[in-house]
């Protein structure tokens, strides 16, 4: 028996020495390499490290130095200067479930490959880490990240898991190309619902705070979003800048507050913007609201050639549409003011009041093309119930037919300016007059026009102007049919004999002041010139000389 005892004791001593040797060996550089090669050879993962450490003063923790870990044939999910694994009794049944995982001074690359990591922990702790998720729906890159996830059980493409609380801070963060600094993020995930209880960050030289939640279908509900003193520059157009919001399945904002913001993009800019937006849902490129509102003012708003100074907008939002309670702005050295409503069902904008005063506006070269273009899908018709214009200057520098109207005044009532997505004068009445004007280098004084319109025609009941020593008066009718048939009668008394030459009529072989009568018919059809369609007669009498000219298809057919 003594011999057996000695043998057993010797075996125990050998096993103990072997265990001690193995314990010491695995904490060497050779041992760390052997562990890495063994894991890489017998699992789906690839592991490399420079050293493994264990201390009997803290026996439930293993420390790995200079770690690189990830799935085979894929970039490393984790590189870290130090990884600390907390051990627990649950690992006898679940070897890859740790009490805690501490990651320090490295990079964590989150992918959406749909292949979850088999590793789990009661707590995942990050310290001075870089986190990248370049292929998610909102690409994220963060550095100097501190924080934790409790518990950490990644599932599929969900790195955090389906039921966890998290709190993290980052020195810098870039989300969807927008940089931020000093970021704080707190919230939880439960049954695929994400609740972000607090978000705070310094971004674009200002600050952002928010709280929001996302349901299992990806719809967002933002309780509050506050942007203060941000200075944001983008290379996108205004519509492109807003596209990420419209691309979400659904996002509801309880309240958005913007204070002293300056935004700039490709062809647009807003300075000193203050805004409060309440109760609005953006979904599938459209919006919905119950008892919503928008209040906004800015120093300047620029979008393409449009520049508004000191714009103020107040409106209420409802399922029926928009009630515009106030709009005012300085524009081209004048003032524009309006109020009205937009109806969702028929896409009609009704302006109960529109007033313009003191404008000094030069029409763009292609204003006629814009007039002919169809309106966007959300705007089918535009009606102005009451219109007033006062002391405006309107200039067209088109070399084919330039004009200028000085001190232009006007009134209108029930004026339907657009119908079926097309600009025009479809119904109502309009009166315009100016102190003086120039039409293709012909100066006139006190030009005026009065017209009424209905579904069938535009009836010009008055069109008159004073020349150097005389006066012209006209009447006209324009059909509302696509061919836009035009009939016009003009009478001139003591006007220059060739008054009409610069307006398109051939030269008359008379000089001095004359009386004249013009009767023509033509077509103002879209995308077709007027002159080839004109037929009519011109009678001119200067002293004892008279000339009568007949025009057919834009050419003088005879004279007598």
Mean pLDDT over each residue of the chain, to the nearest integer: 87
- Per-residue pLDDT band at 113 (split at 50, 70, 90): low
Output the pLDDT for position 210.
94
Alpha-carbon distance of 270 to 115, in angstroms, equals 45
Measured distance between the N- and C-terminal CA atoms of the chain, rounded to whole angstroms: 152
Using alpha carbons, select from 430, 428, 431 the residue that is nearest to residue 383.
428
Say how far apart CA 387 and CA 435 lie, in whole Å: 19
Ranges 97-101, 133-137, 267-271, 506-510: which has the least confidence: 133-137
Identify the pLDDT of residue 31: 63
**Residue pLDDT, tens place only, 357-391:** 999 999 998 888 888 899 999 999 999 999 999 99
State the pLDDT at residue 21.
45
Is the pLDDT at 50 greater than 90, yes or no? no
- Return the pLDDT at 109: 86
Q: What is the mean pLDDT of residues 468-486?
A: 93
pLDDT tens, residue by residue, 69-91: 888 878 888 889 998 888 887 87
Residue 18, pLDDT > 70, answer no
Return the pLDDT at 175. 78
Give yes or no for residue 115 having a pLDDT over 70: no
Residue 312 has pLDDT above 60, yes or no: yes
Question: Average of pLDDT values for 524-536?
Answer: 87
Q: What is the pLDDT of residues 161-215, one digit of tens each?
A: 888 999 999 999 887 677 889 999 999 988 878 899 999 999 889 999 999 998 8
Please state at what angle helix 29-42 crosses helix 2-26, rounded to 10 degrees.
90
Distance in angstroms (rounded) separating the CA atoms of residues 429 and 411: 8
- The answer to which of 19-23, 306-310, 411-415, 550-554 has the lowest mean pLDDT is 19-23
Burial zone of 297 (CB within 10 Å; 0-12 exposed, 13-18 middle, 19+ buried): middle
Q: Given this model, what pLDDT does residue 137 score?
A: 58
pLDDT value of position 22: 46
Residues with Cβ within 8 Å of 146's Cβ and at least 6 positions away in sequence, in order, are 126, 127, 128, 129, 168, 169, 170
pLDDT at 36 over 80: no
Q: What is the pLDDT of residues 193-205, one digit of tens each?
A: 889 999 999 988 9
List pLDDT tens digits, range 428-455. Answer: 999 999 999 999 999 999 999 999 999 9
- The beta strands (E) that lie in 266-365 are given as 268-283, 286-288, 292-297, 300-303, 306-318, 321-331, 334-343, 348-357, 360-362
Nearest to 351 by CA among 359, 341, 361: 341
Per-residue pLDDT of 118-136, as tens digits, reads: 788 999 999 999 988 876 6
For residues 265 and 233, the answer to whether their CB atoms sit within 8 Å is: yes
Asked whether the CA dihedral 244, 248, 250, 254 is positive or negative, the reply is negative
Higher pLDDT, 17 or 241: 241
Of the candidates 193, 138, 189, 197, the residue with the CA atom closest to the CA atom of residue 161 = 189
Higher pLDDT, 112 or 325: 325
Integer angstrom CA distances of residue 321 from 48, 248, 326, 338, 354: 62, 22, 15, 17, 19
- Stated as kind and residue range, the H or E segment containing 50 is none
Sign of the C-alpha dihedral computed for residues 453, 457, 462 and 466 taken in this order: positive
- Percent of the chain exceeding pLDDT 90 equals 57
Q: Residue range 396-408: average pLDDT?
A: 93
Confidence at residue 85, expressed as pLDDT on a 0 to 100 scale: 86
Domain ranges of the chain: 1-74, 204-330, 332-450, 467-560
- Other CB atoms within a 10 A radius of the CB of residue 292 amount to 20
Query: If you average pLDDT over residues 218-235, what whole number do you get?
Result: 91
* Lowest-pLDDT choice from 351-360, 442-451, 467-476, 528-537: 528-537
């Amino acid at each position: 028996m003594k011999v057996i005892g000695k043998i057993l004791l010797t075996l125990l001593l050998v096993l103990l020495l072997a265990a001690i040797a193995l314990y010491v060996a695995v904490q060497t550089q050779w041992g760390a390499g052997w562990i890495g090669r063994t894991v890489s050879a017998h699992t789906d993962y690839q592991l490399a490290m420079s050293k493994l450490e264990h201390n009997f003063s803290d026996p439930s923790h293993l420390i790995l130095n200079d770690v690189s870990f990830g799935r085979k044939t894929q970039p490393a999910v984790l590189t870290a200067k130090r990884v600390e694994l907390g051990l627990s009794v649950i690992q006898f049944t679940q070897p890859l479930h740790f009490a805690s995982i501490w990651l320090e001074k490295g990079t964590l690359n989150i992918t959406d490959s749909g292949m979850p990591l088999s590793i789990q922990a009661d707590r995942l702790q990050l310290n001075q880490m870089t986190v990248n998720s370049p292929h998610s729906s909102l690409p994220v890159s963060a550095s100097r990240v501190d924080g934790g996830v409790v518990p950490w059980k990644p599932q599929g493409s969900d790195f955090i898991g389906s039921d966890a609380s998290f709190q993290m801070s980052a020195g810098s963060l870039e989300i969807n190309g927008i940089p931020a600094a000093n970021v704080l993020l707190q919230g939880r995930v439960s049954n695929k619902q994400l609740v972000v209880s607090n978000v705070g960050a310094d971004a674009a030289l200002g600050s952002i705070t928010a709280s929001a939640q996302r349901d299992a279908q990806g719809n967002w509900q933002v309780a509050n979003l506050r942007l203060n003193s941000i200075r944001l520059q983008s290379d996108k157009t205004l519509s492109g800048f807003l596209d990420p919001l419209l691309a979400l399945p659904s996002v509801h904002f309880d309240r958005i507050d913007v204070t002293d913001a300056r935004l700039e993009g490709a062809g647009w800019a807003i300075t000193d913007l203050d805004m409060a937006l309440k109760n609005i849902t953006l979904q599938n490129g459209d919006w919905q609201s119950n008892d919503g509102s928008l209040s906004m003012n800015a120093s300047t708003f620029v979008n393409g050639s449009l520049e508004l100074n000191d714009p103020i907008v107040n409106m209420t939002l409802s399922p029926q549409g928009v009630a515009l309670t106030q709009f005012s702005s300085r524009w081209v050295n004048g003032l524009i003011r309006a109020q009205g409503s937009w109806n969702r069902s028929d896409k009609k904008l009704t302006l109960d009041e529109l007033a313009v005063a003191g404008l000094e506006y030069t029409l763009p070269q292609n204003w006629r093309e814009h007039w002919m273009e169809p309106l966007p899908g959300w705007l089918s018709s535009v009606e102005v119930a009451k219109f007033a214009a006062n002391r405006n200057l309107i200039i067209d520098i088109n070399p084919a037919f330039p004009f200028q109207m000085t001190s232009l005044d006007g009134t209108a009532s029930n004026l339907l300016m657009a119908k079926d997505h097309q600009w025009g004068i479809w119904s109502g009445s309009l009166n315009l007059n100016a102190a003086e004007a120039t039409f293709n280098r012909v100066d006139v004084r006190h030009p005026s026009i009065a017209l009424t319109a209905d579904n069938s025609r535009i009836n010009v009941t008055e069109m008159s102007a004073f020349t150097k020593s005389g006066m012209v008066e006209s009447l006209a009718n324009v059909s509302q049919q696509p061919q836009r048939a035009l009939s016009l009668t003009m009478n001139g008394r003591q006007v220059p004999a060739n008054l009409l030459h610069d307006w398109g009529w051939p030269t008359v072989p008379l000089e001095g002041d004359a009386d004249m009568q013009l009767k023509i018919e033509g077509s103002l059809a879209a995308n077709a010139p007027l002159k080839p369609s004109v037929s009519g007669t011109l009678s001119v009498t200067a002293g004892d000389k008279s000339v009568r000219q007949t025009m057919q298809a834009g050419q003088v057919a005879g004279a007598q």
